[in-house]
Structure 1
Amino acid sequence: MAQVAHEMRAGVEDQIAELKKEVARLSRSLSARANETAGDAGEALEAGTKRTLQVVRQMRDQAHVAADAARARPGTSALAAIGLVGLAAGLIYAASARR
């Protein structure tokens, strides 16, 4: 009886040791993947930041051109503003009608 209990205990201890090894292996693998993902996210963030800065720069330039055109032709600018307000109102109405 003592021999059987000893063998069972040894078997359980072996299983525990194998499980600890497996947990350690999975932990290393998860850590490596987390590092890769963090690196990829950092690269994506950097690329997105660069693209955002480019878009902001371009929008600023276009705003300056639009402001210059508005100063040169105030009547046309007022008509364009009214058109944009109408377009925005139409889009808002269409969006609310879908709900």
Structure 2
Amino acid sequence: MADNDIDTAGRTSGNGKGTTSAARNRAAARRSARASGTSEAAMKKQIAELKREVSRLNRMLSDQAEETAHGWYQSAADRASHLYSNASGRASRAAKQLRSQAHSVSETVQQNPGTISTAVAIGGLFGVLIGLAIARSSQPEPHWFHR
């Protein structure tokens, strides 16, 4: 048992190699902690820079999208305005032509009332006859009609 005490004492307080290696280990751990601390700080700094860059890019994309959308809106508004002005002009010309034709028809009716009334009566008679012919050909005869 005495041998064990001497051996244990020799290892702990012997030639000093045990303490030196422990000190070296502690120093290495401190250097490693400092290095990891500095690398962690550098990584945090890089992450912050990347966040700022992403924010800047997002703002640029937003501005570009806004400009593009404004351009599309302006282009669509210009086209709609152009189409409206063209349609308005066409509608105005069509209304003038319709008015002039209605005026000429009314003059003709006023000058020839008998001719117009006869033409309308003949047209109505033909319409009735055509309607009867179509109705008769499209429906089969009912059974009660044959009895």
Q: TM-score, normalised by structure 2?
A: 0.50
Structure 1 position 30 matched with structure 2 position 30: no
Structure 1 unaligned residues grouped into runs of 5+? 91-99
- Deviation track 1:45-73 (CA, whole Å, cap 9, x = no partner) reads 11111111000000000000111111122
Which residue identity does 1:36 align to in structure 2? S
Output the amino acid matched with 1:43: H
Instruction: Tell me, yes or no, if structure 1 residue 77 matches structure 2 residue 116.
Output: yes
Change (3 A) 1:77 1:6: farther
**Which ranges of structure 2 fall in alignment gaps of 5 or more residues?**
1-39, 132-147
- TM-score of the superposed pair, with normalisation by structure 1: 0.71
Question: Which of 45, 48, 52 is matched with 1:9 structurally?
Answer: 48
| In 2, Cα distance between equivalents of 1:31 and 1:70 | 57
Greater helix percent: which structure?
Answer: 1
Q: Give aligned-pair identity as a percent.
A: 19
Partner of 1:66: 105
Point out which structure has higher relative CO (alpha carbons under 8 A, 6+ apart).
Answer: 1
Aligned residues: 84
Change (3 A) 1:65 1:11: same
Large movers: runs of 4+ above 3 Å:
75-78
Residue 76 of structure 1 and its aligned partner are, at CA, apart by 4.0
CA-to-aligned-CA distance 1:13-45 (integer Å, 9 cap, x gap): 101101111111121122122212211111111
